[in-house]
Amino acid sequence: MTIRQTNGRGKRYDSILDTVGDTPTIKINRIAPKNVDVYVKFEAFNPAGSVKDRLALNIIEAAERSGALTPGQTVVEATSGNTGIGLAMVCAAKGYPLVVTMAESFSVERRRLMRFLGAKVVLTPKEAKGFGMYSKAKELAEANGWFLASQFETSANADIHENTTAREILADFEGSNLDYIVSGYGTGGTITGLGRVMRKERPETKLILTEPANAALVASGYVNTRNEDHQPTEGHPNFNPHPIQGWTPDFIPWVLQEALDKKLYDDLIPVAGPDGIAWSRRLAAEEGIFTGISGGSTFAVSMKLAETAPEGSVILCMLPDTGERYLSTPLFEGVAEAMTEEEIALSQSTPGYRMGS
């Protein structure tokens, strides 16, 4: 067996921001059906741990180029966590103050990560859902003259996935078939950016969109009202609380609307939160791939798709983030902090350094 070795990347980086993107595509070896090849694009390899690092960087740099963001101006945004963490990293590296609004229902480690990166986090009542935290960010921006990042509306969102994520996938599968790409949506930037490119350059690839079964906004056919700036003016009537943090706010974002209007996806498959949790746990325990509930949910849909996919199909599943920002969520329920009985027995099975006696 050959001993693994590495040779470095052959370059040095001028900033942490230069390490965003170029995330790996990884084959699933133990838990995928044998009649298909399943890969994951693991966005946790971004420097702040999620796919949202891409849009966070592009939002800030696009605003700098246009003059919409001036030196030292405060940035404000509503987020379930990953965009806020990405923005906190970008703003720390570039010297912008950041204020994040976030519903109190999202995991506590997310707000702590943002504060650790120098951001201020303003919580909103969980009863007000995503629309409440979104409205609070707008209020703060208007009252203080801050730059509103507008992840749900800005063209900088899908643009970065068109110019980076999609290009990476094309390169990774050059000369190989790629039959399906599976993605959920938060803002819709990933599916919209991928759809723009794949429809032109890999039209044989089917794009599969997924959303929580109990918050089926797209499947409902109802589109919430928006103002002239494409900002939602109401919560979506089909929204219900779900455990897939980062997915499906209680409105259909303008960025996602492009994918809906232009039919940039081929099928919509719902997923139940408990299925996402179960597959996230299996990815960790059986493949060593540590992703969150959103990643587990996308993978659950990929596994469902694999059941009926033609022999030899190739499926790519987007994994948005790392599982570390879900420690206080149902994903880790039942994972013991103290030693289990089996672990105590192992400790006591040899004479030295025993615990639990």
For residues 263 and 270, what is the distance between their CA atoms, to the nearest angstrom? 17
- What are the average pLDDT values for consecutive 10-residue runs of the chain, which has 357 residues? 90 97 98 97 98 98 98 95 96 98 90 96 92 94 98 97 98 98 97 98 98 97 96 94 91 97 98 98 98 98 97 98 94 93 93 80
For residues 141 and 147, what is the distance between their CA atoms, to the nearest angstrom? 6
Q: Return the SS3 of 107.
A: coil
> Maximum CA pair distance of the chain?
73
Q: Are 127 and 107 in contact (CB under 8 A)?
A: no
- Mind listing the domains of the chain with CATH numbers? 16-47+165-332 (3.40.50.1100), 52-148 (3.40.50.1100)
**Cβ partners under 8 Å of residue 22, min gap 6:** 168
Catalytic residues: 52, 294
pLDDT value of position 356: 58
For residues 50 and 247, what is the distance between their CA atoms, to the nearest angstrom? 13
Structure pTM? 0.94
For residues 116 and 119, what is the distance between their CA atoms, to the nearest angstrom? 7
